[in-house]
Structure 1
Amino acid sequence: MSYTKLTYHIVFRTKYSKNTIPEQHEKELYAYIMGIVNNKNSKLYRIGGMPNHIHLVVDIHPTIAVSDFMKELKEYSSKWLSKNPNFPDFEGWAVSFAAFTYNLNDKQKVVEYVINQKEHHKNVSFEEEYRQFLIENGIEIDEKYFLKD
């Protein structure tokens, strides 16, 4: 038997980072995403975000590649959002996403970060936040493509 424990912090955004997730309906979207995660035999520890992006703290089942997980999550949620009258401005998700793994000891710190998104973004833009995540995780940023989709 193989044993794995990969906790991801995943950040993904709306197309062109437009504010298309109304705060008064975000919990409805989060519940739908939770259902997708559960159907993938994965475990969602926390979900949160802002009108233009979402953070997940999640263990993805070891047989699922993170890219496949995100492709399906965005595909299913896009279809649902496009039919839901509570999200009239939603145009789709950006193609890109960022995913980082964390040590089990850091999981609670990441969960708290996601919980505090509203407060955090009073002072920090999504672009600043996203750029900082990439830099902290040693990912080289190609300005030609950064947040262009």
Structure 2
Amino acid sequence: MKPGAFTQLYIHLVFAVQYRAYLLHDDIRPRIFEYMSGIVTDLKHKSIIVNGMPDHVHILLGWHPNVSISDTVHDIKRGTSLFINREKFFRGNFAWQEGYGAFSYSRSHLNNVYEYIQNQQAHHQTKTLRQEYVDFLTHFNAQYDPRYLFEFFDDNLPTP
């Protein structure tokens, strides 16, 4: 019997539509999220939940350690951009914003993270993506330079 590698890794990915445009409308989001889930599975990860808002996406997955996080995000973004443009969901060319957040969780936190992602619509009635993202970075003690966060275009909007 050969020794094996055993892992239990869970990653929560967050990334945004280019220019934070509200393009992922209710009528197309399920198809796009299903397609994303397929890409995740093709990369040998376990897709747990994909959900989001018109301007950003959250993905919770069981991580396969043979694929890097950056390669996974690249493949998800590239694949879904090609799919969205091929299906002509929009007149223009769809693209994702550069960058992403990747946060790790233990198995004991999966239910809470799942519920958080599942309830994005309710959550964003009181919090912008900027607030949500900075909260993640702060919670995980991630060192970051605000100049290199997603491009946020809601700087002049009042806080809900």
Letter in 2 for 1:6: L
Summarize deviations over 1:14-59 as a string: whole Å, max 9, x none.
1121111111110010111111111111111111100000001101
- Segments ≥4 residues shifted beyond 3 Å: 87-90
Letter in 1 for 2:74: K
Report the aligned-residue RMSD.
1.4
Match of residue 82 from structure 1: 85
Which residue among 117, 120, 135 is the counterpart of 1:117?
Answer: 120
**Contact between 2:98 and 2:150, CA under 8 Å: does it hold in 1?**
no
What is the aligned length?
A: 149
Q: Equivalences for 1:13-52 in 2 at 5 Å?
A: 13-52=16-55
Q: TM-score, normalised by structure 1?
A: 0.94
Alpha-carbon shift at residue 82 of structure 1 (Å): 1.4
1:116 and 1:90 map into 2 onto residues whose CA distance is: 29
**Contact between 1:47 and 1:114, CA under 8 Å: does it hold in 2?**
yes
Letter in 2 for 1:117: Q
Where structure 2 has 5 or more consecutive residues not aligned to the other structure, the ranges are: 153-160
Alpha-carbon shift at residue 89 of structure 1 (Å): 5.3
Where structure 1 has 5 or more consecutive residues not aligned to the other structure, the ranges are: none
Letter in 1 for 2:128: S
Q: Equivalences for 1:62-81 in 2 at 5 Å?
A: 62-81=65-84
**Contact between 1:13 and 1:54, CA under 8 Å: does it hold in 2?**
yes
Match of residue 105 from structure 1: 108
**Contact between 2:20 and 2:97, CA under 8 Å: does it hold in 1?**
yes
Larger radius of gyration: 2
Indicate the structure with greater strand content.
Answer: 1
Find the residue that maps to 2:32 and give its secondary structure.
Answer: helix
Summarize deviations over 1:86-126 as a string: whole Å, max 9, x none.
24456311110000110100011000000110000011001
Match of residue 91 from structure 1: 94
Report percent identity of matched pairs. Answer: 27
